[in-house]
Structure 1
Amino acid sequence: MNNTTQIKKNYRFIKLQKLVIVSILIGFLSAFLGIVLKNATEYYEAIFFHRATLNPVFFIVFPIFGLSIIFFLREYLFKKKENKGIKEIFESVNSKTKNLPSYKISSHFINGLLTVVSGGSTGIEVSTVVATATIGAVAQRKQNVFRQYKTELICAGVSAGITVLFSSPIAGILFSLEVISKKATRAFILTNIIAVTVASALVYLLHEKPLFSVHVTTWHLKAIPYFILLGVLAALHSVYLTRTVLFFKSQFSKIAEPHFKIIFGSLILCLSFTLFPQLYGEGYHSMKSLFLNPNDTTLTLSLGLTFVGIIVLKPIVTSTTLASGGDGGVFAPSLFIGAFLGLLLALLLNKYLDADVIPINFMIIGMAAVLSSSIHAPFTAIFLVCGLTNDYTLFLPILVVCLISKYTAKMIYPFTVYSYSPSIAK
């Protein structure tokens, strides 16, 4: 072996070592940030929501307060730059010159927390994804040896963040692959597996539990036609969600004065929370209540109307939150809508068709189906929901329904809130 070959071999080995070390660091920092944001949001959202239920005037005060603080932080701390969510990641990975600036870590962390605890009807998932992607982007810029691994290291941060939010390392990697990278290089596989392994270890050490505690016993072949119906309904509603978000952002962009956006958006949120308090924040508190005993729920007229109102209004309050300056995306809203939609369909089938379906199964499958069709990432949705519930009993029907919902939604409207741009749509 000549000297040149040995030098090249040593260089590749050193580069591999550095890549492993930086992946461990990204995995730890991203996981730690995600855990802190998740727990802080859950804790303070519960306090704020309890306060608002005792005195409904806070349904007005909290959204105005949260959106106003976010506006002032953006104006005077975060360089007057709006957070554009996952589109910021796309812009970075698709460009050699554009990068995620380091302030995006604090920007998305603070704004995501403020948005949800003050009632913004979205979730912290996108805030976490962009913040952890920025960790990867910052690490990539530290040494020239990492320049060629920009996408891989950004995805490593994203995968670790998703892992801690949903207790599913597979969902973390699949989301990075399906939505961001679109290709699995050897460097992608190495960096992302290391990052999610570190994130999973931190989740285990800190005893982080799955978001929902459910007990699924079985599913029946006779329910397959109804599962397919749920997939189609989920696709239709995801298109409604996507179009509503895009419409509200377009309309609010025409309002020149930021404080008018905040006031108008807060009034819509206030009215919605007064009618349906379940719409406050990311909505996981309401979903946990649904999961307590859904199989024994009896459909009444008032309950049915409540479910319909929640399902129809959720995309509107989510869109209002984002258009008014709030931070977030469609992850939590999709899961929320899917749970209510699935339970409502199951109760209707049992009452009027004597279908004898299992409501909790429809809730879980509905969550995955709406998420799959909202972000066009069926495999992410499958493992994410299975990780959330810590149960894989429904894996096969979830797989079928997620594929149906995605391709049905794509036929109706080919864009997601992440992929849409006016230039492409023309």
Structure 2
Amino acid sequence: MNTTARIKKNYRFIKFRKLVIVSVLIGFLSAFLGVILKNATEYYEEIFFHQATINPLFLVIFPVFGLSIIYFLREYLFKKKENKGIKEIFESTNSKSKNLPSYKIPSHFINGLLTVVFGGSTGIEVSTVVASATIGSVAQRKQNVFRQYKTELICAGIAAGITAIFSSPIAGILFAIEVISRKVTRAFLLSNLIAVAIAFGLVFLLDEKPLFAVNITTWHLKAIPYFILLGILSGLNSVYLTRSVLFFKAQFTRIKIPYFKIIIGSLILSSSLFLFPQLYGEGYHAIKTIFVSSNEMSLTFPLALTIIGIIILKPIVTSATLASGGDGGVFAPSLFMGAFLGLLLALVTNTYFNAHVIPINFIIMGMAAVLSASIHAPFTSIFLVCGLTNDYTLFIPILLVCLISKYTAKMIYPFTVYSYSPSLIK
């Protein structure tokens, strides 16, 4: 082997070794951030929500207080920059010059936590994704050897963050592929597999439990027509959610005085929470409740009205939360809407069509289906929801409803909140 070949081989080995090391660090830091944010949000959201149920006056105070704090933090601490969510990641990966600044890590961490804890009807998932993407972006800028791996290292942070909050390494990698990168290179596989392995190892060591403890027994072929119907309805609901978010953001952009946005958003949020406290925060507490009681539920007019009201209002309060300055996205709202949509369909078919479907199954499939249609990522949604329940019994029906919901939504409205841009429709 001549000297030139030896030098090239040594350089490739050094580059490979450095990529492995940086992937380990990104995986650990992103997962650590995700676990802390998830547990802190769950802990404080429970405390604040409990106080709001005891004294409904807090349903007025919490939203305006939380959104005000977020505004002042952005104005005086985080360089007066608004958080654009996942669009920030696209701007970075699509440009050689644009990078995710390091302050995005504390910005999304703190603002995501405050938004949900004080009742904002969204979730921490997008906050975690952007913060962990920034970890990958910062690591990529540390050495020239990593410049060519910008997208790969950003995706490694994202995949590790998703793994940490949903306990599903497959969902983490699939989200990075389906939503962010949309291509797979050897460097992508190496960095992302290492990052999610480290993240999942941390989750295992910390003994993080699945978010929803459910007992799934079986599913029946005779329910397939109802699965198809659920997929179609989920696609329609996801379009409603997407259009609501885009509409509210466009309308709130016209409001030039920031505190008017906060007041209007808080009024919408508070009045909705008075009607349906289930809309508070991520809403996972409400999903856990219906998991426990779904098999004993019978359809009554007040119950049907409540579920329909929740499904209709959720996109509105989510949109108001985000448009008035809250930090978050459509992950948790999609899961929430899907759970209640699945429950409603199961109760209706059992009551009026004697279908004998299993409500828990429809709750889980609804969660995956609406998420799949909202982010146009069916395979991410399958493994993410299976990771949430730590059960793959429903893999095949979830695959069916996720594909149907995605393509139903795309036929009606081809954009997601991540891919939409006003220039695309001109």
Task: Provide the rounded CA distance (Å) in 1 between the counterparts of 2:419 and 2:236.
Answer: 18
Please name the residue that 2:400 is paired with.
Answer: 400
Please name the residue that 2:420 is paired with.
Answer: 420
Task: Provide the rounded CA distance (Å) in 2 between the counterparts of 1:84 and 1:210.
Answer: 29
Within 5 A, what are the aligned runs for 1:95-106? 95-106=95-106
Matched letter for residue 347 of structure 2: L
Please name the residue that 1:315 is paired with.
Answer: 315
How far residue 6 of structure 1 moved from its aligned partner, in angstroms, is 0.3
Please name the residue that 2:356 is paired with.
Answer: 356
How far residue 27 of structure 1 moved from its aligned partner, in angstroms, is 0.2
Please name the residue that 1:246 is paired with.
Answer: 246
How far residue 349 of structure 1 moved from its aligned partner, in angstroms, is 0.2
Matched letter for residue 274 of structure 1: F
Task: Provide the rounded CA distance (Å) in 1 between the counterparts of 2:37 and 2:84.
Answer: 19
- Greater displacement, 34-43 / 294-303: 294-303
Within 5 A, what are the aligned runs for 1:67-146? 67-146=67-146
Give 3-state SS (helix, strand or coil) of 2:141's partner.
Answer: helix
How far residue 95 of structure 1 moved from its aligned partner, in angstroms, is 0.2
Unaligned runs of 5+ in 2: none
Matched letter for residue 209 of structure 2: K
Please name the residue that 2:325 is paired with.
Answer: 325
Task: Provide the rounded CA distance (Å) in 2 between the counterparts of 1:173 and 1:29.
Answer: 17
- Aligned CA-pair RMSD: 0.5
Give 3-state SS (helix, strand or coil) of 1:142's partner.
Answer: coil
Task: Provide the rounded CA distance (Å) in 2 between the counterparts of 1:390 and 1:296.
Answer: 23
How far residue 293 of structure 1 moved from its aligned partner, in angstroms, is 3.1
Task: Provide the rounded CA distance (Å) in 2 between the counterparts of 1:388 and 1:168.
Answer: 8
Task: Provide the rounded CA distance (Å) in 1 between the counterparts of 2:157 and 2:297.
Answer: 41
How far residue 237 of structure 1 moved from its aligned partner, in angstroms, is 0.4
Task: Provide the rounded CA distance (Å) in 2 between the counterparts of 1:401 and 1:310.
Answer: 22
Q: Deviations over 1:35-85 (max 9, x none)?
A: 000000000000110111111111010001100000000000111100000
Please name the residue that 2:207 is paired with.
Answer: 207
Give 3-state SS (helix, strand or coil) of 2:43's partner.
Answer: helix
Give 3-state SS (helix, strand or coil) of 2:95's partner.
Answer: coil
Unaligned runs of 5+ in 1: none
How far residue 297 of structure 1 moved from its aligned partner, in angstroms, is 1.2
Matched letter for residue 387 of structure 1: G
Please name the residue that 2:372 is paired with.
Answer: 372
Q: Deviations over 1:80-132 (max 9, x none)?
A: 10000000000000000000000000000000000000000000000000000
Q: Deviations over 1:254-275 (max 9, x none)?
A: 1110001001110111100000
- Greater displacement, 243-252 / 290-299: 290-299
The answer to whether the aligner puts 1:156 opposite 2:156 as a matched pair is yes
The answer to whether the aligner puts 1:65 opposite 2:65 as a matched pair is yes
Please name the residue that 1:347 is paired with.
Answer: 347
TM-score w.r.t. the length of structure 1 is 1.00
Task: Provide the rounded CA distance (Å) in 1 between the counterparts of 2:390 and 2:343.
Answer: 19
Q: Deviations over 1:400-423 (max 9, x none)?
A: 110111011000000000000000
Matched letter for residue 17 of structure 2: Q
Give 3-state SS (helix, strand or coil) of 1:291's partner.
Answer: helix
TM-score w.r.t. the length of structure 2 is 1.00
Task: Provide the rounded CA distance (Å) in 1 between the counterparts of 2:40 and 2:385.
Answer: 22
Please name the residue that 2:182 is paired with.
Answer: 182
Query: Where does structure 1 differ by over 6 angstroms across 4 or more consecutive aligned residues?
Result: none
How far residue 296 of structure 1 moved from its aligned partner, in angstroms, is 1.9
